[in-house]
Amino acid sequence: MRKHPVRKFFGLTLLYSVVIIGIFIIQFKSNSVFSKSLGSLSFSIVKLQSENNKTILKNQIRVSFNGIIFSADDKNPVTAKDIKGTVIPLALESYEEASDSVEFSFTYGARITFRQSYDKDNMPLLSIAAVPPANCNEIFLPYKISQNFSTESISPANILVTAKDEMFSFTSHSFSGGKIAFTKNDSVAKYSHYNLTRKFTFESAAGLKGTTDAEIKELCTKLRYSLVEKVQSAISQAKIDSLSETDVTAYVAELASQGKYNQAIDSIPDSFKKGNKRTYISSPFFDNLVAMSRSLSIQTEKYASLVQSNSAEVFTVEGISDYILREKKSSAVRKLIQSVSGLQKFSAFQAAGIISVYADLKEKDSQLVLPLEAVLENCTNSIQESCKLENEAIKVQKDEENFTDVYETVFIGNALQKLGKLQKNISMTQAGNLIVYSSLSETDASIRTIANIYPLIVKDNFFYPHTEILGWYGNTCVWAWTCAKSISYIHNPSTTSNIIIDFPLGLTHYVIFNGIPNFHGKIEIQSQMFRTDPRFETYNSSGYVYQAPSRLLFIKSRHKSKIELIRLFLDSPLIFESTADPSVMSVIPPAPSAPEPKPEEPSPEKTEAAPETQPEVEIQP
pLDDT tens, position by position, 538-585: 988 999 999 999 999 999 999 999 999 999 999 999 999 988 887 777
For the segment 197-201, the average pLDDT, to the nearest whole number, is 66
- H/E stretch holding 381 reads helix 376-386
Q: For residue range 317-376, list pLDDT tens digits in order.
A: 999 999 999 999 999 999 999 999 988 888 999 999 999 999 999 999 999 999 999 999
Predicted local distance difference test score (pLDDT) of residue 498: 95
Predicted local distance difference test score (pLDDT) of residue 603: 41
**Residue 24: pLDDT over 60:** no
- Phi and psi at 612, nearest 5°, equal -60, -30
Predicted local distance difference test score (pLDDT) of residue 613: 32
- Phi and psi at 343, nearest 5°, equal -80, 155
Angle at the Cα of 135 from the Cα atoms of 132 and 139, rounded to 5 degrees:
25
Dihedral-angle region of residue 557 (phi above 0 means left; psi in -120 to 50 means alpha; beta otherwise) = beta
- Distance of alpha carbon 107 from alpha carbon 48, whole angstroms: 18
Q: Tell me what the pLDDT averaged over the chain comes to.
A: 87
- Distance of alpha carbon 432 from alpha carbon 580, whole angstroms: 31
**Nearest C-alpha neighbor of 398 from the set 543, 388, 317:** 388
**Which string of b and e fits 503-539 if b means at least 16 CB within 10 Å?**
beebbbbbbbbbbbbebebbbbbbeebbbbbeebbbb
Query: What is the model's pTM?
Result: 0.68
Q: Which residues contact 53 (CB under 8 A, 6 or more apart)?
A: none
Q: For residue range 216-264, list pLDDT tens digits in order.
A: 999 999 999 999 999 999 999 999 999 999 999 999 999 999 999 999 9
User: Please, are residues 24 and 31 in contact by the beta-carbon 8 Å criterion?
Assistant: no
**Residue 13: pLDDT over 90:** no
DSSP single-letter state for residue 177: T
Which of the residue ranges 217-221, 256-260, 294-298, 391-395 would you say has the lowest mean pLDDT? 391-395
Predicted local distance difference test score (pLDDT) of residue 619: 31
Angle at the Cα of 138 from the Cα atoms of 73 and 422, rounded to 5 degrees:
145
Predicted local distance difference test score (pLDDT) of residue 249: 97
- Distance of alpha carbon 282 from alpha carbon 213, whole angstroms: 30
Which of the residue ranges 268-277, 311-320, 526-535, 595-604 would you say has the lowest mean pLDDT? 595-604
Predicted local distance difference test score (pLDDT) of residue 589: 76
Predicted local distance difference test score (pLDDT) of residue 155: 63
